[in-house]
Amino acid sequence: MIRRGYAPRVLAIPALVAVAFLVLPLAALVGRVQWGTLWADITSPEALSALRLSVITGLLATVICLLIGIPLALLIARSSRRTASLLRAVVTVPLVLPPMVGGLSLLFLFGRSGWLGWTGWQIPFTTVAVVLAQVFVALPFLVLALEGAIRTSGLDYERTAAGLGAGNWTILWRVTLPLAGPGLLSGTVLCFARAAGEFGATALFAGNAPGTTQTMPLAIYTAFNGAGVSQGAAIALSLMLLVTSVSVLLLVRGWRAAPVAGAER
Amino acid sequence: MTAVSAGLDAVIRVDRDEYLLDAVLQASAGETIALMGPSGAGKSTLLGALAGFTALTAGEITLDGRVLQNSSGTDVPPRERGVILLGQQARLFPHLSARDNIAFGPRARRVPKAQARAEADAWMERIGLAGLGGRRPAQLSGGQQQRVALARALATHPRMLLLDEPLASLDPSTADGIRALLRDELSDTTTIMATHDADDATSLADRLIVLEAGRVTAEGTPHEVLREAGTPFIASLVPGWQMRVENISPDADGIRVSDGTSELRLPLGAPVVPGSIVTVRPPS
């Protein structure tokens, strides 16, 4: 079967330019790695503490996103068309907003002189602030991916399940979410990746204190920029983030492929 | 009409912009009713209303002595009705094996997993698919999927089964297999089956109800309804020659009717008007 389709062949050239544009910078990064000091750079106390903080806050933010994002995705997917497009617009704002603006806004909500200042909560410039900033920027990725998946799978399977006597929770756990599984998975991965890579909102709202708010992206920025001490450390940390992202992608692909292969029992 | 003691007793009115469904429907326990009508007559809406997926504008549905829905606000949700709607598509849950699809209903009613699965395997055998319980729906043919969907429905011991053209998307030989299965399995379950096949109505149903433009236009045993051919639609269901009368002219001792191409002589006083259908049928 001819699978090439009918796109003009000359379009292959800009397509290759696009691929090169995405791949070459990363190759250049790898090319600058100082392999001799790599291990020392990665295992330095600063790097390890930044890594630990990134993983913990990223995971925490992802869990929070799941807890509030799944219900929101369900709400949007099952709303009337007008309500859904309104809610979708609200969810999209943090996605298109410069993260710096998000950080500033969070500061004005949670800061001492902000709207919630009267509560006496000490949130800005703490680890909690890091997580909140990550949730703010990462939540849209989860909600939009999951909502699309739920809406696409439609109501018919849920109706079938209800007819068979299933209650609403059973339908959610055994029908709706499994059917939206691919969307949920890719949404979660995107959500974690965005949370772990968050820089702008964190910098403004949480600051850059090693050990409490200095996540990997901030550590990279500091190492690269801060007095120019060690560009090598910045590159090493970047390499680590790159390797981690690629591994997560490969893991997820393997995990998604598995159920299909294992279906024959 | 006498009220049925058990079974279905329904008055259904659904008012939409385009059309009005206004039907009275009764079925005694265990009866199989065929529902026929032209496309858009409201068959699917009627079944959807019985299953609880379509809101009634007015009316009342009583099943086995229990009010499922009435005008004073009772509206039993679909999952508590014991009414299962099975459509053209099998709608097996794609992420579950055939066995787990059949076990789904019992599991939702808190039957222990092992028992539900054992019952599901027994069902797989009963529908002629023994040994395929581990397959995903995508690994089954369309006919096999419909069999599993039927078993999945029957495994919950429904009070009423609604079939919306379950054979329509199957090839003829596959449909024959399902037909035989339906004949075997539906005798104890109150069933309403929408179909466009008069043979299915006569071979599977105790009674035939014809729905046209949202109203019941004929009701009785399939043979009665088809023989009387009370409306042009019903007449069109039966094989034979038909003429739609356009011109009527008097003749010596009778009348001549024609549709422009054919002409018939009928006795004086034959109840024809323009638009009447004259049908010639092979002896049954």
pLDDT in tens, B171-180: 888 888 888 8
Q: pLDDT value at position B74?
A: 80
* Averaged pLDDT, A156-171: 93
**Is the Cβ of A177 closer than 8 Å to some Cβ of chain B?**
no
Q: What global pTM score does this model have?
A: 0.80
Chain B: residue whose CA lies nearest to A178: B95
Q: pLDDT value at position A258?
A: 56
Per-residue pLDDT of A92-122, as tens digits, reads 999 899 999 999 999 999 988 888 878 888 8
Residue A29 contacts by C-beta under 8 Å, 6 or more apart in sequence? A235, A238, A239, A242
% of chain B residues with pLDDT over 90:
33
pLDDT level of residue B1 (50, 70, 90 thresholds): very low
Mean pLDDT of chain B: 87
* Averaged pLDDT, B250-261: 85
Which residues of chain A lie closer than 8 angstroms to B51, CB-CB? 159, 163
Q: pLDDT value at position A264?
A: 36
User: Which range in A71-80, B4-13, B190-199, B263-272 is most confidently predicted, on average pLDDT?
Assistant: A71-80
**Is the Cβ of A160 closer than 8 Å to some Cβ of chain B?**
yes
- E strands within A67-188? none
User: If we measure between CA atoms, which residue out of B20, B4, B3, B6 comes closest to residue B56?
Assistant: B20
Distance from CA of A186 to the nearest CA of B (A): 17
A88 in Cβ contact with A144 (< 8 Å) = yes
Distance from CA of B114 to the nearest CA of A (A): 17
* Averaged pLDDT, A17-38: 91
pLDDT level of residue A256 (50, 70, 90 thresholds): low
Per-residue pLDDT of A194-209, as tens digits, reads 999 899 999 999 988 8
Could you tell me which residues of chain B have a Cβ less than 8 Å from any Cβ in chain A? 51, 53, 77-85, 89, 91, 93-95, 97, 104-105, 108-109, 134-136, 138-139, 152-153, 156
Predicted confidence (pLDDT) at residue A228 exceeds the cutoff of 60: no
**Is the Cβ of A264 closer than 8 Å to some Cβ of chain B?**
yes
Q: pLDDT value at position B186?
A: 84
Q: pLDDT value at position B238?
A: 79
Structure tokens at A233: 């450390």
Phi and psi torsions of A209, nearest 5° = -90, 120
Predicted confidence (pLDDT) at residue A260 exceeds the cutoff of 70: no
For an interface test with B, which of A153, A157, A160 has the most B Cβ atoms less than 10 Å from its Cβ?
A: A160
Predicted confidence (pLDDT) at residue B268 exceeds the cutoff of 90: no
CB neighbour burial string for A142-152, b if at least 16 within 10 angstroms, e if fewer: bbbbbbbbbbe
C-alpha to C-alpha distances, B243 to A107, B37, B195, B246, B281, nearest whole angstrom: 82, 20, 25, 9, 12
B101 in Cβ contact with B92 (< 8 Å) = yes
| Pick from A157, A166, A178: CB nearest B91 | A157
| Pick from A163, A165, A264: CB nearest B51 | A163
Predicted confidence (pLDDT) at residue A259 exceeds the cutoff of 60: no
Q: pLDDT value at position A159?
A: 93
Q: pLDDT value at position B216?
A: 92
Residue A4 contacts by C-beta under 8 Å, 6 or more apart in sequence? none
CA distance A242 to A264: 36
Whether residue B104 and residue A265 make contact (CB cut-off 8 A), yes or no, is no
* ipTM score assigned to the predicted complex: 0.81
E strand or H helix at A93, and its extent?
Answer: helix A81-96
Q: pLDDT value at position A229?
A: 53
Whether residue A170 and residue B108 make contact (CB cut-off 8 A), yes or no, is yes
Predicted confidence (pLDDT) at residue B129 exceeds the cutoff of 80: yes
Per-residue pLDDT of B15-37, as tens digits, reads 887 778 999 998 998 899 999 99
* Averaged pLDDT, A69-87: 94
* Averaged pLDDT, B216-239: 86
pLDDT level of residue A2 (50, 70, 90 thresholds): low
